[in-house]
Structures are given as structure tokens and as C-alpha cells.
Amino acid sequence: MADNALLEARGIAKVYPDGTVALRGVDLVVRPGEVHGLLGENGAGKTTLTKIISGLLPPTSGEIRWRGKRVRFSSPREALRAGIGMVHQHFALVGPFTGLENIALGEEGGGALSPVHVASVRRRVEAIMRESGLEAPLDVPVEDLPVGVQQRVEILKMLYREVDLLILDEPTAVLTPQEAEELFSVLRGLAAQGRSVIFITHKLAEVTAVTDRVTVLRRGEVVATRETPGSTAEELARLMVGEELPPPRARAERAPGREVLRLEGFTVPGPAGKPAVQGVSFSVREGEILGIAGVQGNGQTELVEALVGLRPWSGHAELLGKDLAGRGPGEIASLGLAHIPEDRHGMGLILEFNLAENAILGRLRPFLDPLGRLRWGKVYRFARELISRFSIQAPGPRVPVRYLSGGNQQRLVVGRELSKAPKLLIANQPTRGLDVAATRYIRDLLLRLRDEGMAILLVSADLDEVLELSDRVAVMYRGTFAGVLSREEFDRERIGLLMGGVREAG
């Protein structure tokens, strides 16, 4: 047994009921007072491991020791009582309740929301906020708070319960760079008080920025545990991915061509009468990538859905000089627009259909004879072509796409959309949830298409992605463009401030 361990997990394995093997015997030791990074690609098993530690999932095998004693938590509540708290990617907050009420709600016993009790909770939470430097408004319904602030309420909830081990599952995914910096200093402060943190991420820079030690997971196995000082980003990347990736594609110098998409005063109604997109104007030209950065939930989804014809909107929009008003998705697509939706499963694919059937979704006409009959021979030939051209790992064109990995599903979507020979490609979160190799593939492909003259509108909550690919970046905040920067003006800090709603002066 390792000495000086707060938490020790040995040989943790997890097989999900559907047969997915998520963990194959994982060891993890967390010391008191350390920020312990858990690094791994999407699907490596990070969330599963921490759900087991925090009592949300039972392990299939393996044991957990907490302060030296063998434990088996049967619920998150039990783990919390012992001092382990987890902040999930999807928060567990009650929307209409204030931050303070949410914090008080978690407590056991009746009368959690009685005025006397709430007042005493307020005093303690205020003390915790002063001590930790983690500030959040306590009297606003949490659903009115930006996600980054909601996250702080979640963390405060855990600190209020006096956890000794705080687990954060990809916390920076919903933060601006500045907010992430603030979070890091909060975490370092906690560690200095002797508390421990498990910090989950798939971003190398964050590991080096905040962790003391790091455990790298790959396909359900631990490949290494390292002291962070002394490990290089290259080394960690190699451990995480397990292979060397070719360097990213260099972007060609190229002047943008004619205007393909133009929006003026584009407004999309949102829920409760408030517009989700408010009077946005921009254009996208041939041979350029316009990136839209921003914390998710600031109107990006509505903007894209309206553009492709799935939502009503007002204002002016034209594609290659043709007014888009009043046109449905099919018609807009036929004008030369292709769309990689953010929600692959809900909108991009029909999971029960096989690969070939999905390959022609939205583009049936070339595969029909004059009587409207499907020419399956041609369909399957086309599907095989996509498989080889876009390196889709699949047993064949007849496999239901449900059984493909996320990366291969996305290659299929991308391949299909490009087969429409679009003039404008809208890529919404094109690499979300993909592993490193698939991410690289998609990004390189987008750059190549741009070099070849396609107009691309890229929407991504991943600032690194936007900065790497875009020729110009628009930052979206609460339904408007907080600023549009050209490549020379790219500056993480400045964009981060815009993402957080800090307006440019002048």
C-alpha cells in the first residue's frame, strides 16, 4: 500500500451493462494537498473512473481505499459524507433556485430551506468565498447565471460540504481563458490548505498549468503517472495518444475571394421572447474560414440552425446573392450549403440506418432512377468510396452507424456533406467529443478545403480550434458579436475577455 495516500484505487475495472469495457484495471493514488490531473482522450474512461470514486457507479471489480480504509460507496451522498465531492460536466443545480438555496438544498435532514437555516448557510458560504477567492452571486436564480458562474456555485456547494477531495470533470470546457485562470488559482489555494483535487482534462496546457501530478489514461488503462514538473507537453501527448501524429497542416497564404454568405441584422427568436441571436451582421468569403468563438449557449446553436433553415429568423441573409428568406433546409442545401451539425446523433445521422443509407441522407437525387427508385448498387459503391476516401474505420457499408466510433461517425458526416460539393460549409463543433487523431484529421481537412477556395463558417466552443483554423474570428456573447478580429489581431487574452462579455472600448 502506498504511504501518504488520501485516496487509493486499485485494479478498478468497469464493464457497462451494454458490454462496453470502460476501465481495465486502473490504479490511482491521490495524495493530500495535491492537484492531481487525470489526462486522457475522449472515451479513455476518465469520467467513468471518477464516477466510481464518487459513488455514482459501482465498479465491476477493484477496490478503493479512503484514508487507508477500504470503502464501498453505494451513492454520491455516502461519498460526500466521507468527504469526496464531484462536479460533473452537466451540473446538478435546480434552475429556479438561487445559488444559496442550491447550496443549502444539498444538506441532509428536513428544513434545508428554512429561513433560519439559510441565514446560517449564507454566513458560512460567504466565509468560504472570502477564503477561497471563489465568488458567485448567491441570490440570483442559477438558471440566469452564465455557465461559468453556475460552475462556481457547484464548487461552492462542495466546499460548503467540506470535501477533502474535489473532483472536477472537464471544468474548463465551459470557461473563458480568464475564468479558467481564476479557477486554477482557486484550485491551487485549496491544495495549499491541504485539500486534494482531481482535475480531469484532455488539454495538455491545463495539466502543466495547474497540476502537481498527472495520471494518463488511455483506453481504460493507466499508461503513466508522473510528477508534472519535469514532464513535457510532447511527452504527455505521446502518452495520451499512443502514437506520433504528423504535424498539423500549414495554412497557405491566400486572399479571400468573392462573398458567399452575407447576413445583415440577422435575428433569431429564442425562448421566452428574448432573441437568441440579435441583429448579427457578417459575411464569409471564398477561401476563408470565419470562426465564431464563444462560451456555449450564447446563441451559436440558434444562429446555425436558423441559417440552415431549421428555425425562423428575421433580417437579411443571402447565399451567393440568393435571398434565404422563406426557404427550408432542402432548398437552402441545394443552393450550395452543407452543414456539419453539432449534434451528430440527433441531427447528423440516423443511428439505426446503415452506413450507406446515411451516406445519401440529404442527397438522394443522384441515386434515383427516373421512377424514384433507389439504385442501391450505386449507393453502396458511393459508400465504399466515402469509406476509403475519408478513412472511415468500418466493417463495411452495411454496418449500422450506431456501431461506429464517434470519430468515424463524424468522418462519415463530413464526407457526406462534402460530397454535396458545397459553396459554403457550416461546421458546428466539428471535433467535439472526437479523439486526437480524428480531430487532427477534421481540422486538416477544413484547412485544405479553405485553401482550395471553399467558404467555411466554423463554430466552436474550443478557442484553440478557432484560433488555429480561422482567418477571422467573431466572438459571440449573449446573441451578439462582441467583436470581429482578423488573424493579426488574435490574442487569447483579448478574445477571452470578449467571450466573458467585456466590451472593447471605443
Partner 1 sequence: MKRVAETLTVLVLGILVGALVMALWGRDPWSSYASLLSGALGNTRALMSTLSRSLGLVLTGLTFAVGVRAGLFNIGAQGQMLLGAVVALSCGLLRLPPGLHLVAALALSGLAGMAWALPVAALKLTRGVNEVISTIMLNWVAHWLVLYLVIQKLSDPILGQRTFTVPPGMRFPVIRGELTWALVLALATALFFWWFLWHHAKGYEIRAAGLNPRAATAAGISVKKAMTTALLLGGVAAAWAGAIQVLGRFPYAITSDLANLGNLGFDGIAVALIGRNHPLGILAGAFFFGTLATGAAKMGLRGIPIDMIYIVQGVIVVFMAAPEALRLVRLRRPAAKAKEVAR
Ligand X SMILES: Nc1ncnc2c1ncn2[C@@H]1O[C@H](COP(=O)(O)OP(=O)(O)O)[C@@H](O)[C@H]1O
List residues binding ligand X (CB under 6 A): 16, 18, 20, 22, 40, 42-48
For residue 201, state whether it binds Mg ion (rule: CB under 5 A). no
What DSSP character marks residue 385?
Answer: H
68 binds, among ligand X, partner 1, Mg ion, none (CB under 5 to 8 A by kind): none
- Give the whole-angstrom CA distance, residue 103 versus residue 348: 38
- Give the whole-angstrom CA distance, residue 350 versus residue 356: 11
Q: In angstroms, what is the minimal distance from the CB of 468 to ligand X?
A: 22
By beta carbon distance, the residue nearest Mg ion is 47
Q: What's the Cα-to-Cα distance from 405 to each of 42, 48, 70, 351, rounded to whole Å?
A: 11, 18, 36, 12
Nearer to ligand X, 204 or 473 (CB): 204
Residues 6+ apart with CB under 8 A from 1: 8, 65, 68
Residue with cell 482550395: 452
Q: In angstroms, what is the minimal distance from the CB of 380 to partner 1?
A: 13
For residue 54, state whether it binds Mg ion (rule: CB under 5 A). no
Q: In angstroms, what is the minimal distance from the CB of 432 to partner 1?
A: 11
334 binds, among Mg ion, ligand X, partner 1, none (CB under 5 to 8 A by kind): partner 1
Nearer to partner 1, 252 or 374 (CB): 374
Q: In angstroms, what is the minimal distance from the CB of 410 to ligand X?
A: 14
Residues 6+ apart with CB under 8 A from 396: 355, 384, 387
What DSSP character marks residue 368?
Answer: B
40 binds, among ligand X, Mg ion, partner 1, none (CB under 5 to 8 A by kind): ligand X
Q: In angstroms, what is the minimal distance from the CB of 217 to ligand X?
A: 7
Nearer to partner 1, 286 or 357 (CB): 357
329 binds, among partner 1, Mg ion, ligand X, none (CB under 5 to 8 A by kind): partner 1
Of 37, 355, 367, 370, which Cα lies nearest the Cα of 205?
A: 37
Nearer to partner 1, 13 or 310 (CB): 310
CB-based burial of residue 235 (10 Å sphere; 0-12 exposed, 13-18 middle, 19+ buried)?
middle
| Cβ-contact 332, 322 below 8 angstroms | no
| Cβ-contact 153, 114 below 8 angstroms | no
Angle 25-28-30 from CA coordinates, rounded to 5°: 165
- Give the whole-angstrom CA distance, residue 406 versus residue 410: 6
Instruction: Candidates 7, 35, 47, 240: give the one binding Mg ion (CB under 5 A).
Output: 47
Nearer to Mg ion, 47 or 480 (CB): 47
- Encoded amino acid at 205, one letter: A
| Cβ-contact 478, 501 below 8 angstroms | yes
Nearer to Mg ion, 173 or 454 (CB): 173
Nearer to partner 1, 311 or 316 (CB): 311
Q: In angstroms, what is the minimal distance from the CB of 198 to Mg ion?
A: 13
Angle 43-217-183 from CA coordinates, rounded to 5°: 85
Nearer to Mg ion, 86 or 308 (CB): 86
- Give the whole-angstrom CA distance, residue 374 versus residue 281: 41
Nearer to partner 1, 320 or 350 (CB): 350
Q: In angstroms, what is the minimal distance from the CB of 39 to Mg ion?
A: 12
| Cβ-contact 378, 367 below 8 angstroms | yes
Q: What's the Cα-to-Cα distance from 446 to each of 185, 202, 319, 425, 469, rounded to whole Å?
A: 36, 22, 20, 9, 8
Nearer to partner 1, 81 or 381 (CB): 381
- Encoded amino acid at 296, one letter: Q
Site residues for partner 1 per CB under 8 A: 308, 310, 328-331, 333-334, 339, 341, 345-353, 357, 361-362, 364, 368, 372-374, 376
Of 408, 347, 346, which Cα lies nearest the Cα of 383?
A: 408
341 binds, among ligand X, partner 1, Mg ion, none (CB under 5 to 8 A by kind): partner 1
Q: In angstroms, what is the minimal distance from the CB of 8 to ligand X?
A: 20
Phi, psi of 69 (to 5 degrees): -105, 140
Residue with cell 436558423: 306
Q: Which range, of 47-55, 73-81, 295-303, 365-373, touches Mg ion by CB under 5 A? A: 47-55
Nearer to Mg ion, 47 or 439 (CB): 47
Q: In angstroms, what is the minimal distance from the CB of 169 to ligand X?
A: 7
Q: In angstroms, what is the minimal distance from the CB of 352 to partner 1?
A: 5
Q: In angstroms, what is the minimal distance from the CB of 38 to ligand X?
A: 8
C-alpha cell read off for 247: 504535424
234 binds, among Mg ion, partner 1, ligand X, none (CB under 5 to 8 A by kind): none
349 binds, among partner 1, ligand X, Mg ion, none (CB under 5 to 8 A by kind): partner 1
Using CB under 5 A, list all residues that contact Mg ion.
47
